Chains A and B, each alone.
Chain A
Amino acid sequence: MREERATTRRQLLKGGGAALVGLAAGARPTAAQGLRSTPEGLARELMAYGRRSRFVGTSRITLDNKVNMQMHGDPNGFDALTPLGEQTGIITPAPLHFISSHGDPPPDIDPARHRLMIHGLVERPLVFTLDELKRLPSVSRIHYIECLANRPRPGAEHTLETSHGMVGCSEWTGVPLSLLLAEAGVQAGARWVVGESLGRTQQARSFPLGKALLGDTLVAYGQNSEPIQPHNGYPLRLVIPGFEGKFQLKWLRGIKVTDQPYVTYWEHGSFTRRERTPLGSYWEQGPKSVITYPAGGQRLPGRGHHTIVGFAWSGNGAVRRVEVSTDGGRTWADAELEGPALPMAMTRFRHPWTWAGGEAVLQSRCTDERGDVQPTAAEFGDFWGEYAAPHGNQIQPWKITDVGQVLNAL
């Protein structure tokens, strides 16, 4: 269904032009179909480490976030969005996984010299090398990571990616933090864990020891069966399934067990807001879904059959149900969940739809295994007290105009 998209068609047309150039340069046709072969040198190179076809140009949407990041006290933004509209399965390719680094370029960490220290309220403070961590029993689990600021926003200029591009889903491989804590021996009175990060901004974040002991929190070194990429935390990061992305520190150097939350530099600001509620107001993200085709920034190539597709996820466990409305929320129909619906992982859904021309508003609604239902913008505003609040999981409506343009309907 992706081939139907106008943007993809344009890319193909561009690619077609490039193919003609290749032909002129003298690539040999195969006998059967008149196809050109990849030049021999390049073909050999690609045998060592593959590369996508030169006809594929999908890339992260990089942001000049200077204004945005000033809210966090960062003069520089190192942010880039997942091209969600081009993602065909639940796994986000690591090179396309969103980046939000608050002004930190990735530190250039030599894995042979990197250490992870477990300290604080533990019986046996321990320092591990990466090799030692890899000798411990590892697990591989598929989980999304989402920035807390990823949310629908009002304004026709917002596309699928600018509203929902700060989420990605990977298979993470690493050691359960609970195992490392058992090796170190947690002392009585311990209540919190402070993750400590390398990098210029030396980020540190507190989260409840209870989550660390649950067994699903990982000290991860693998992302989609490869070492984690530098922008996503090489060589070690925290993966705290279901929790907001801000806790899942990259370039992890320390785990400190404490009896109190630290409220560090990085936990001030937007992360502890006016509500004067505990840090623990926003641990898990609520049930969420978004239609990725047709979606804001795209254009329908014509009337007739289209397959609505999208992703759903929840910080509370697995996605149980996704409903789709094609009439602005008046009626809803169950979408088909496609592929695995794993806990705290992106889950694909699809729904057949015929566009007869004219205006339409499409939206999706997720229900998770706990029975929590994705709220409308109005319900969300009522819950959080302020529409523009971060931590948003409200329903995203997309408006189809009579010429097939898809716009943000908030």
Chain B
Amino acid sequence: MATKETSKQLILGVYDNPDKVYSTTKKLIKGGYKIEDVYSPFAIHGLDRVMGIKRSRLSIAAFLFAMTGLSLAVTFQVYVSYIDWQMNIGGKPSLHIPTYIPITFELSILFTAFGMVTCFFIVNKLFWGKNADIMDPRVTDDLFIIAVDVKASKADMGALNQKLIDGGAIEVRERIKEL
């Protein structure tokens, strides 16, 4: 069993324009570099596809949570108003599916929203009070950073610097990321 790595060596290319980040990332990946991640102040459309990020399964999670909410709501309402204690209010039936629809709908939505967002926090390891491991404080302002994983890249690392600069980087630096 290989010993687990405790840190990763990254080369960071700092950019000020998302278009340059997009095209540089594309070129680097074609050239065999392993992109650890790209950090940006907003979502760059299409970049996730270029980086080969698989479509998130959070939508499946959302569906499962919706179904959980739905079945719990139906079960509970049927149990309460039909099985546990029937009430005669104006002679109306105790087991009356159409009147269960609004609450079932609301609970499905409630479960979906909370379940999915909780999963989102878990897969991204986001939690209250977490110390952010940011590449640069300006990455949430106006800078974009391409982080290349040095070890995992199967390409010439000597040329990387030049490639990042040719792509329009305003700065290139090295960083060790603790895992």
Q: Do A and B come from one complex?
A: no
**Residues in chain B within 8 A of chain A (CB atoms):** none
